[in-house]
Amino acid sequence: MKTATVAVITGDLVNSSAYSQNTIQTIIQRLTNEFQVISQETGDDVTAFTLFRGDSFQGIVEDPSQALQIALRLKALINSFSDSGEEAGNTIPVSDVRISIGIGEASYDVNAINVSNGEAFQLSGRTLDSMKTKQLKMALTTPNSNINDEFRVHMKFLDSITDRWSMASAEVVYFLLKQLKEKQIAEQLNRSQAAINHRKKAAGWEEIRLLLQRFEQVIKSEFV
């Protein structure tokens, strides 16, 4: 077991009981693949995820300043999912997710997240349990009430932006969060760079980018 200040990301699919079994399985497989990719990308700062209860997941992010970017990347992946097997279009996402980020001290084993415990786990799990009644999609809880108050507002604005995403907008945000440039995304999706730029603006990327910068700045100054 390691003991450190970390971020714990806990999420569950919204209205998963309405999904077909094939849709659930496909989304879970996409998440599983993404967890592996993120884990490989984070290098020395370990990030590890596990699935539970069929439609839920939990992960540890040793660099808590990166937690919002990772959480938003998972949301964009799920929002861009097309159950028809076709490319993401300018339609409302068919799948969505609630994600709670808890930051604090934890005793954990990245190979056995289900037996890990501590403040970060408790904050993340309790917050997720309360999000459904509050109609929240993204939330942050830390031991610092000032940070909580600030990001309660930020996350509500983030929800208002992401609730307007089309599947195509979410897809572009996903690739932007993977650090791809517009030209690279255009090549990946076989679209013009102008079309990617339009989707980027429609997704509210500039506002999201500023929020990610603010999150990283605040969390680094307080916890890293």
**Residue ranges with strand state E in 14-137:** 47-52, 56-61, 97-108, 117-118
169-188 pLDDT, tens digit per residue, is 999 999 999 999 999 999 99
| Residue 51: strand pairing partners | 57
- pLDDT of 58: 96
- Percent of the chain exceeding pLDDT 70 equals 97
31-63 pLDDT, tens digit per residue, is 999 999 999 988 767 899 999 888 899 999 999
Give the domain CATH number at 192: 3.30.70.270
User: 28-32, 79-83, 123-127, 216-220: lowest mean pLDDT where?
Assistant: 79-83
The answer to whether residue 222 scores a pLDDT higher than 60 is yes
User: Residue 223 — pLDDT band, cuts 50, 70, 90?
Assistant: very high
Domain span including residue 78: 2-223
- pLDDT of 85: 59
In the structure encoding, which two tokens stand for residue 14, read together? 């919204």
Look at the chain and report how many structural domains it folds into.
Answer: 1
CB 105 within 8 A of CB 118: yes
Q: Which long-range contacts (CB under 8 A, 24 or more apart) does 15-19 make?
A: 15/96, 16/54, 16/55, 19/95
Instruction: Kindly report the average pLDDT of the chain as a whole number.
Output: 93
